[in-house]
Structure 1
Amino acid sequence: MAVYPAPLLALVLLLGLPAAGPAEQRAAPGKIVDYRDVQPILVGRCAKCHAPQGMMGPAPEGYSLASYAETLAQGERARVVPGLAEASELVRRIRGQARPRMPFDGPPFLDETEIALIVAWIDQGARDAQGNPAPAPREAKLRLHGRLGANGQLDGLALRITAASRVEGAPQPGDYVQVRGRLLEDGSLLVERIRRR
């Protein structure tokens, strides 16, 4: 698969065409996944809205998925955490762990093969089209939604709640919550604020 040049990408987005067929979206087991593998999914399904001039006007929350650099851009928070799909808002949205589930025009949502490919790409370091892994974010700010687990986790992601964490609405295990915080080097999330939604 080739990375789409900007004029072709703009045409794909404008016409709402799928960027790749299902066969092109599968990665062989053990294959190194890079941006060329996930670009057709992100462009074909996500960048319809998440583009500078998408179907909803400007990209929602200013987050564009129309290019590699924009997909990894952190701005006020990281939405893709290279090496840690569980902490990536993008993954949580396409799985339906966070609401609203994406793509916003679903159903149909992404199928399990497409989701697995994006998860593998992120877990393998969110490699660019040349196969180079993205730098690991340090102290990345995150804003995640999901279900609070009985063991202090957010859908399997370890949370570190301290005396300095703001806890609002007395969230209990099983509650749908929003968590804001910073990613620590051990892959856990240091909670700055957690609230029931």
Structure 2
Amino acid sequence: MSLRALVPWCLALLPPLAQAQAASAPAPGWNDVAPILVGRCAKCHVNGGLMGPAPEGYLLVSHADALSATDRARVVPGNPAASELIRRVKGQSLPRMPFDGPPWLSAEEIDLLERWIAQGARDANGQPQPVPVGARVRLQGHLGADGRLDGLPLMSGGRMRVDKAPQPGDRVEVRGSLDAQGQVLVERLRRR
């Protein structure tokens, strides 16, 4: 077989090889994302940070702090789209973070954070974390014609309160809680 005939065959193998390598890559853990969160976010999200007390009491200096659902969940293991942390660094929830941006986090940094959450928000030992079932959430974004929030499926939490008649395309705020699969059970939906 000539070299000319081998080149297309070799090139055809590259995408499957790249996918196989990505699939076999270890799931990111706290040690992988801590440099981003501590380096870029903990300037403010620490006791005695640039803004004094941590904004909304949310600390980002340890794995336990980042996953704390004391007042509400900001990281939903297994569901980055329902995680306020991701929505803030992408600018879906306002204000966009880091608050002193731009520069914002790079696409690679955001991708790493999303993969970390999607694969269970693993701790430093590589252990995936459980969904904080029943934890409160507060998310912002744009309501789609399909009733999703920026593509995130929303589930009715039973009695759902709707304020200010939101329409598709409107910027909205969703308040609710998490079910066992990390889905958002909406209790309140309002136009912002």
Output the TM-score relative to the length of structure 2. Answer: 0.85
Matched, 1:181 2:176: yes
Give 2:149's aligned amino acid: L
Partners of 1:84 and 1:191 in 2: CA distance? 16
Partner of 1:98: 93
Partners of 2:61 and 2:157 in 1: CA distance? 38
Please show how residues 40-189 of structure 1 align to structure 2 within 5 Å. Answer: 40-161=35-156, 164-189=159-184
**Could you say which structure has the larger radius of gyration?**
2
**Structure 1: 5+ residue stretches without partners:** 1-27
Partner of 2:6: none
% same residue? 59
Measured after TM superposition, the shift of residue 157 of structure 1 is 1.1
**Structure 2: 5+ residue stretches without partners:** 1-20
Superposition RMSD in Å: 1.4
Partner of 1:196: 191
Q: Deviations over 1:20-46 (max 9, x none)?
A: xxxxxxxx8333100000000001100
Measured after TM superposition, the shift of residue 53 of structure 1 is 1.2
Give 2:164's aligned amino acid: G
- Paired residue secondary structure (2:113): helix
Q: Deviations over 1:87-114 (max 9, x none)?
A: 1000000011111100000000000000
- Paired residue secondary structure (1:164): strand
Give 2:156's aligned amino acid: I
* Contact 2:46–2:53 (CA under 8 A) maintained in structure 1: yes
Partners of 1:61 and 1:162 in 2: CA distance? 25
Partner of 1:39: 34
Whichever structure has more helix as a proportion of its residues is 2
Measured after TM superposition, the shift of residue 141 of structure 1 is 1.3
Measured after TM superposition, the shift of residue 161 of structure 1 is 3.4
Partners of 1:66 and 1:110 in 2: CA distance? 17
Partners of 1:64 and 1:175 in 2: CA distance? 30
- Paired residue secondary structure (1:61): helix
Partners of 2:158 and 2:179 in 1: CA distance? 17
Output the TM-score relative to the length of structure 1. Answer: 0.83
- Paired residue secondary structure (2:153): strand
Partners of 1:44 and 1:191 in 2: CA distance? 33
